[in-house]
């Protein structure tokens, strides 16, 4: 009887194909990943059960102290909005007209903006270290009825990109008066439909304590 | 994979010729694959995690046309007053009376009130011109001490309970006074 010889096979598998696939995926994820921009203002958003996702938006953030900040999602829109504001306020603040292209470029890199227009030329000429220090205590955008820059910024953003959704991002413990003022600014500008940015709540409402 | 040919030590054969060592060209790719998958996992988990959700809010236009305006019966109205953090007061009808305090805690708080009032309105308030049952109308009023969180909470409750008509309105000084008095309405204020 002839012996059945079991063929000896190597236990090692060729990994090349697997490497190819995994690196392809890796490259894809690295390229699509968008890192969360470092938020200069800490905003702890309230939770709701709303599931609607929001992508590109003009976001007005309101922090705990009731200061308002302005954020546009992409750089071209920011530049267009700035240009619009310069046209509008150039006569009142002549320094705005002298902004160089370099300074305008600096503006487009600001993720969350919170400076009164009068101060803008000075802020845009700061270097990185100075701006970091300045960012710690952003003054916020004026929105009272005598100097309603926020309303004009909102309109400037809308002109720059009319398809953009408008959203309010308030902190949990922001006093309602500040949020109501922002909403009033919107309604004055004939914006009656907007979004409130919330995080998804996990389940039964959890109790939270107000900060001191 | 990582078989390196170590059999020929030194390279001096019998005939004294120097031969170059034969090296395998294959490299072990396993650690590289490990690393790649680790990174893939990391990027997959971090990218999908942070997309904010949003709730939509419609505010009424200022110049309301007469024909758009709804007729409001006293019976349909539920007023919700939001005081300092997590304190909610409510009363039914258009006259400030019988204020009661509640909270946001789950099913026991304001949600119970909303559901109860909705049922009552459906039962008692009759039908409008088109023959439908009159809907409940929620008027939300926020006092100066209120926090934004509670505004989102109450709008969320409107959404959860599918309240058909609701509006955020400025508060009446009488309501503020009543809440400050612990829910008691002074007699002269009630008209």
User: Are the C-beta atoms of A74 and A46 separated by less than 8 Å?
Assistant: no
For an interface test with A, give the residue of B68, B148, B167, B176 to mutate (most A CBs within 10 A): B148
Q: What pLDDT, on the 0 to 100 scale, is given for residue B97?
A: 75
Taking residues A27-56, report their average pLDDT. 77
Chain B contact for A130 (CB, 8 A cutoff): no
Q: What pLDDT, on the 0 to 100 scale, is given for residue A66?
A: 84
CA distance B38 to B36: 5
Residue B151 is nearest to which of A51, A179, A193, comparing CB atoms? A179
Do the domain assignments include residue B126?
Answer: yes
Contacts of A84 (CB under 8 A, 6+ apart): A155, A156, A159, A160
Q: What pLDDT, on the 0 to 100 scale, is given for residue B48?
A: 59
Minimum CA–CA partner of A190 in chain B: B61
Partner-chain contact B142 A192, CB within 8 Å: no
Residue B53 is nearest to which of A32, A33, A52, comparing CB atoms? A52
Residue B186 is part of which domain span?
A: 73-190
Chain B contact for A75 (CB, 8 A cutoff): no
Taking residues B112-141, report their average pLDDT. 82
From chain B, the residues in CB contact with A192 under 8 A are 58-61
Partner-chain contact A15 B29, CB within 8 Å: yes
Beta strands in A3-120 (DSSP E): 47-48, 57-62, 68-71
Whether residue B73 is predicted with pLDDT greater than 80 in this model: the reply is no
Residue B152 is nearest to which of A19, A34, A198, comparing CB atoms? A198
Partner-chain contact B54 A32, CB within 8 Å: no
User: Are the C-beta atoms of A152 and A189 separated by less than 8 Å?
Assistant: no
Minimum CA–CA partner of A173 in chain B: B147
Taking residues A196-201, report their average pLDDT. 81
Name the domain count of chain B: 1
Name the band, by pLDDT with cuts 50, 70 and 90, for residue B180.
confident
Mean pLDDT of chain A: 82
CA distance B121 to B129: 16
For residues A107 and A205, which has the higher predicted lDDT (pLDDT)? A107
Partner-chain contact B151 A198, CB within 8 Å: no
Q: Do the bridges between strand A57-62 and strand A68-71 make them parallel or antiparallel, or are there none, so unpaired?
A: antiparallel
Partner-chain contact A175 B144, CB within 8 Å: yes
Do the domain assignments include residue B4?
Answer: no
Q: What pLDDT, on the 0 to 100 scale, is given for residue A36?
A: 63
User: Are the C-beta atoms of A112 and A141 separated by less than 8 Å?
Assistant: no
- Kindly report, residue by residue over B92-120, the tens digit of the pLDDT: 877 777 777 787 776 778 888 888 888 88
Residue listed under structure tokens 């006569």: A91
Q: Do the bridges between strand B137-142 and strand B165-169 make them parallel or antiparallel, or are there none, so unpaired?
A: parallel
Do the domain assignments include residue B172?
Answer: yes
For residues A207 and B110, which has the higher predicted lDDT (pLDDT)? B110
Do the domain assignments include residue B8?
Answer: no
Contacts of A118 (CB under 8 A, 6+ apart): A93
Q: What pLDDT, on the 0 to 100 scale, is given for residue B98?
A: 75
Say what percent of chain B tops pLDDT 70.
77
- Kindly report, residue by residue over A86-97, the tens digit of the pLDDT: 888 888 888 888
Minimum CA–CA partner of B63 in chain A: A190
Do the domain assignments include residue B168?
Answer: yes
- Is A72 in a helix, a strand, or coil? coil
- Kindly report, residue by residue over A158-195, the tens digit of the pLDDT: 888 888 888 888 888 888 888 888 888 888 888 888 88
Q: What pLDDT, on the 0 to 100 scale, is given for residue A206?
A: 45
Partner-chain contact A50 B146, CB within 8 Å: no
Q: What pLDDT, on the 0 to 100 scale, is given for residue B62?
A: 65
Whether residue A210 is predicted with pLDDT greater than 50 in this model: the reply is no
- Range in A36-40, A61-65, B177-181 with the lowest mean pLDDT: A36-40
Taking residues B142-161, report their average pLDDT. 85
What's the whole-model pTM score?
0.72
């Amino acid at each position: 009887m002839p012996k059945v010889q079991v063929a000896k096979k190597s236990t090692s598998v060729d990994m090349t194909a697997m490497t190819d696939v995994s690196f392809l995926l890796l490259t894809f994820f690295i390229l699509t990943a968008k890192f969360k921009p470092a938020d200069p203002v800490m905003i702890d958003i309230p939770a709701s059960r709303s599931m609607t996702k929001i992508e590109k938006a003009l976001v007005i953030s309101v922090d705990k102290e009731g200061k308002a900040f302005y954020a546009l999602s992409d750089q071209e829109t920011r530049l267009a909005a700035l240009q619009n504001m310069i046209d509008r306020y150039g006569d009142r603040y002549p320094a705005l007209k002298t902004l160089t292209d370099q300074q305008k470029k600096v503006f487009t890199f600001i993720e969350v903006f919170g400076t009164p227009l009068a101060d803008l030329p000075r802020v845009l000429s700061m270097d990185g270290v100075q701006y970091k220090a300045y960012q710690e205590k952003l003054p916020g955008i004026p929105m009272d009825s005598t100097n309603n820059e926020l309303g004009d910024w909102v309109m400037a953003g809308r002109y720059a990109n009319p398809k953009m959704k408008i959203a309010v991002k308030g902190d949990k413990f922001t006093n309602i008066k500040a949020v109501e003022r922002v909403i009033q600014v919107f309604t004055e500008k004939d914006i009656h439909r907007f979004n409130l940015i919330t995080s998804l709540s996990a389940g039964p409402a959890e109790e939270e304590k107000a900060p001191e | 994979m990582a078989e390196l040919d170590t059999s020929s030590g030194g390279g001096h054969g019998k005939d004294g010729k120097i031969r170059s060592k034969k090296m395998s060209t294959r490299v072990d790719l396993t650690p590289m694959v490990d690393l790649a998958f680790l990174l893939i996992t990391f990027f997959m988990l971090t990218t999908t995690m942070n997309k904010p959700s949003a709730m939509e809010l419609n505010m009424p236009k200022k110049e309301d046309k007469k024909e758009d305006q709804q007729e409001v019966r006293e019976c349909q109205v539920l007023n919700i007053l939001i005081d300092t953090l997590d304190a909610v007061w409510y009363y039914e009808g258009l006259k400030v009376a019988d204020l009661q305090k509640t909270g946001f805690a789950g099913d026991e708080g304001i949600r119970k009130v909303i559901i109860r009032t909705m049922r009552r309105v459906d039962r008692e308030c009759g039908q409008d011109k088109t023959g439908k049952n009159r809907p409940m109308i929620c008027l939300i009023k926020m006092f100066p001490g209120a926090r934004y969180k509670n505004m989102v909470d109450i709008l969320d409750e409107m959404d959860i309970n599918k309240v058909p008509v609701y509006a955020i309105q400025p508060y009446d000084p009488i309501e503020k006074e009543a809440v400050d008095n612990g829910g008691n309405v002074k007699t002269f204020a009630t008209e």
